[in-house]
Amino acid sequence: MKALCSLLIVSLFFSLLSCKPSPQFSYEDFDYADFGFYNLPMGDLPVGFQSELHWDQSRAFNGMDKRPVLMGLWYPAELTGSSRQLAYKDYLLADSEHDGVQVSDTTANRVSESYIVGAKNFFGVAEADAKRVINLPVRAFGGAKVKAGKFPLLLYAASFNAGIHENAAICEYLASHGYVVASIASVGSELPGMSADSAGIAAQLADFRILYDEVIARDYIDSDKFATAGFSWGGFPTTLMGIEKKAKLMISMDGSHTYFPQAVAQFQDTYDRPAQGAYLQLGQRMSPNAQFNQDTMVYHWIGQKADAYLYRFKAMDHRDFGGAFQYLHAVADDSVFRAGQTQFHTKVYSKHEKGRGYLKTAEMMLQALNAYLKGNENDKAGLNNQPDSLFSINRRLLGQ
């Protein structure tokens, strides 16, 4: 477990049934330094979180005759006397169970130490600040019951080598507005981690299928209202299973399927099928490397039959779509923050502008879910009318 645990933590630093319209953010009052897991405008519902370890008996893994599949689950909750508000370190600990070994005090200490070392080495974050992040209260509660009723389902696939809590802030936010969000990590076919090839894609896609099978039939899930979402490498299982299982909506957070046509070609049979659901593609700012601007292939395929939206932010870089990554940048020294952008761009955007982009990402995800899973026309209109000030590309193909 030590190798996988360390890999997942360090990889964070690299990858990283209402008819009311979705709430709008107060961008001008946004204070990036206080972002973390606080500034997303939570809905009226308390949020519960639990991690569940499942096993795929059909696939061997790391010397075992079965493969562990760890799931993170955020849900509208009813709090009880035993419910407790979680801290960020609880998410880190949950992610350390990927190989099926239960967390111990030794594991907990190692996870915290690895996080502190990574924060210092990659972001120049002081030990005291890293500890503050680890102990930060989050918006979810452990030991909470699922609220009575049936809720739409969003399945989330993490980016390259990232863990189940990668975008926990958005998962909490969506659950507070009436969605169940289930996530899987990015784990390759074998240790030490995900591989950038079709075998890696297939491994995460198979995990995504396990996740779907485990959750879709639960009595609190409205199985007719199902969507997929994923960041970076997680864009492959997001679109592939979204097409395969006829999801009502697929959301790409700068998905890698938009950048690697050779990998897409390995799964052409699936991508050639007509999509049954809508598609929202949120992308990073235009790149000096032309390869990373040719991102319309899947968008056009899906848009032939279904509604498809393509938005490129002006200020967001690829890794900014990872909530855990953004928060560490918030506490990092400004020189480190600037250096991360000047590697690839001449223009440097402020933490404030980056934070606005992340909040807008969350808002648009909720709008899309409300529009296509709940039939909310106000949110569909909002999705079609985004401010030009935030985007360099703003396109839509409304299906036939």
What per-residue confidence (pLDDT) applies to 400? 53
**Predicted local distance difference test score (pLDDT) of residue 33:** 45
- Condensed to tens digits (0 to 9), the pLDDT of residues 287-314 reads 777 666 666 778 888 888 899 999 999 9
Between CA 385 and CA 393 the distance in angstroms is 13
Instruction: Note the pLDDT of residue 290.
Output: 66
pLDDT at 280: 96
Q: Is the pLDDT of residue 102 over 80?
A: no
- Half-sphere exposure at residue 213, Cβ-oriented, CA atoms within 13 angstroms: 10
Give 51's strand partners.
72
pLDDT in tens, 107-117: 677 888 888 88
Name the E strands within 176-277. 180-184, 221-231, 249-253
Distance CA 47, CA 142 (A): 9
Burial of 217 (0-12, 13-18, 19+ CB in 10 A): exposed
Whether 86 contacts 72, CB under 8 Å: no
pLDDT tens, residue by residue, 72-98: 999 999 999 999 999 989 999 898 875
Read off the pLDDT of residues 326-374 as tens digits, 9 standing for 90 and up: 767 777 777 777 777 877 788 888 877 888 889 899 999 999 999 999 9
Torsion of CA 319, 320, 322, 325, to 10 degrees: 80
pTM (two decimals): 0.89
To the nearest 10°, report the CA torsion of 105, 107, 112, 114.
150
Identify which has the larger pLDDT, 12 or 277.
277
| 276 or 222, which is more confident | 222
Please tell me the distance from the alpha carbon of residue 6 to that of residue 116, in angstroms, as a whole number: 12
The three-class DSSP label of residue 254 is coil
Q: What pLDDT shows up at residue 107? A: 65
Higher pLDDT, 115 or 31: 115
C-alpha to C-alpha distance for 312 and 283, rounded to whole angstroms: 5
Mean residue pLDDT of the chain comes to 83
Give the residue among 3, 48, 267, 37 at the shortest CA–CA distance from 144. Answer: 48
pLDDT at 8: 42
Domains of the chain, with CATH numbers?
A: 2-397 (3.40.50.1820)
Residues near 339 by Cβ (< 8 Å), separated by ≥ 6? none
Contact by Cβ (8 Å): 273, 207: no
pLDDT at 22 over 70: no
8 Å CB contact between 13 and 122 = yes
Q: Are 298 and 271 in contact (CB under 8 A)?
A: yes
Is pLDDT larger for residue 19 or for residue 84?
84
